[in-house]
Amino acid sequence: MSTDCTNTGSHQYKGLSLYLRVCCVNSNLGQSVTIREPGINKYILCPKVRSKLCPTEVDCPSWFQGGYNISGAYTIFPDGGTPTEVYCDMEGINCDGEGGWTRVGYLNMTQPGATCPTGLYPVTLNNHTLCGKPGEQPACVSTLFSANNMTYSKVCGQVRGYQVNMVAAFTYLSSGIEGAYVNGISITYGRDPRKHIWTYAGGLEEFQTNYYGCPCNMNYTADNISTSFIGFDYYCESASGVYPLYITDPLWDGQQCNQNEATCCPADSKMPWFYRSLNHNITDDIEFRGCGAGFFEAQTAVDIIELYIK
């Protein structure tokens, strides 16, 4: 089998050869790739260097619209000239069901050598290192995930967090989007003021119906956050386990939602994944803030972050 992409014909946006669709994916360069189809396996040996026939696209949607439907690492040119390698989700199963999503944020603290992004602090408890905030003051720590000046109108992602000590959901909701309004994670864009994308909140206990618990709990009696800047764009869950780090019950995974909290984990939810259409185009970076209540170092520290735009 030839390893020279130049023998595959000219690049076209429609009807691209399987060879180009596979071997223009950076993570496949120099690799032998198996394509499994009903009744037959195809083996493609990709060259170590990208062919000149591979297009120079500005973002993942451009690649997807050009016929590339295999998720992996792609080179994009957000400014039309500077190459940037990104991961493209060409399936969108956890988002809107369509491909062309550009990953702009990624963290997995379970991987060897992983470190917290700038602005978040390592939180080590019970031999587990997570990313969160230091100290007991009611405050947020922040990190920015760059959009590389790409235009987008949709955001999708997932966060996995863990309850640390006595979190209390939206106790400080009155501080507004600029303050530590949540015991959990705030995902926003823009400045002065910030604009809300999604919130991940940690409730104290499943049976709570006051502001210590989740607003999605049955018989909740505290503030109606649906009329606030948050609306219905949030997940909230409490954990069970051994104090102070509830490592056996990850938050926002849609599991172990019992008693009053059963309504926080609907069967049709994609938890921990969220999807949000902003209904307008922006190029802003995405801000990820971890906020805590201010007592007993309570917070929801995280070990997995994935953020995509389209």
What is the Cα–Cα distance from 294 to 139, expressed in whole angstroms?
7
- Check whether 214 has a pLDDT greater than 60: yes
Average pLDDT over residues 25-43: 87
Q: What are phi and psi of 284, to 5 degrees?
A: -65, 150
Of residues 303 and 21, the one with the higher pLDDT is 303
- Check whether 65 has a pLDDT greater than 50: yes
Summarize pLDDT for 165-176 with one digit per residue, the tens: 888 889 889 899
Can you give the pLDDT at residue 81? Answer: 63
Summarize pLDDT for 118-151 with one digit per residue, the tens: 999 999 888 889 999 887 666 899 999 999 999 9
Summarize pLDDT for 95-125 with one digit per residue, the tens: 999 999 999 999 999 999 999 999 999 998 8
What is the Cα–Cα distance from 185 to 206, expressed in whole angstroms?
19
Confidence of residue 222 (pLDDT cuts 50, 70, 90): confident
Q: What are phi and psi of 19, to 5 degrees?
A: -60, -45
Q: Six-digit token pair at 68?
A: 């590339």
Average pLDDT over residues 148-168: 93
Per residue in 105-126, is it b (16+ CB within 10 Å) or e — as a string?
Answer: bbbebeeeeeebbebbeebeee
Average pLDDT over residues 196-211: 90
Percent of the chain with pLDDT over 70: 91
- Check whether 3 has a pLDDT greater than 50: no
Show me where the domains of the chain are located: 15-54, 60-89, 101-309
Can you give the pLDDT at residue 290? Answer: 94
Summarize pLDDT for 240-287 with one digit per residue, the tens: 876 788 888 999 999 888 878 899 998 889 999 999 999 899 999 999
Q: Please choose, from the candidates 27, 79, 87, the residue with its C-alpha nearest in 3D space to the C-alpha of residue 57.
A: 79
| Mean pLDDT (the chain, rounded) | 87
Summarize pLDDT for 223-244 with one digit per residue, the tens: 788 889 999 999 999 988 767 8
- Check whether 14 has a pLDDT greater than 50: no
What is the Cα–Cα distance from 287 to 105, expressed in whole angstroms?
10
CA atoms within 13 A on the CB side of 266: 8
Can you give the pLDDT at residue 295? Answer: 60
| Beta-carbon contacts of residue 82 (< 8 Å; ≥ 6 apart) | none
Q: What are phi and psi of 36, to 5 degrees?
A: -95, 125
CATH architecture of the domain covering 101-309: Sandwich (2.60)
Q: What are phi and psi of 11, to 5 degrees?
A: -75, 135
Strand 195-202 relative to strand 234-237, pairing: parallel
Can you give the pLDDT at residue 20? Answer: 80
- Check whether 16 has a pLDDT greater than 90: no
What is the Cα–Cα distance from 58 to 82, expressed in whole angstroms?
10
- Check whether 12 has a pLDDT greater than 60: no
In terms of average pLDDT, the best of 1-10, 176-185, 295-304 is 176-185
What is the Cα–Cα distance from 27 to 82, expressed in whole angstroms?
19
Whether 72 and 60 have beta carbons less than 8 Å apart is answered as no
Confidence of residue 161 (pLDDT cuts 50, 70, 90): very high
- Check whether 301 has a pLDDT greater than 80: yes
- Check whether 22 has a pLDDT greater than 70: yes
Burial class (CB in 10 A: 0-12, 13-18, 19+), 170: buried
What's the N-to-C CA distance of the chain in angstroms?
36
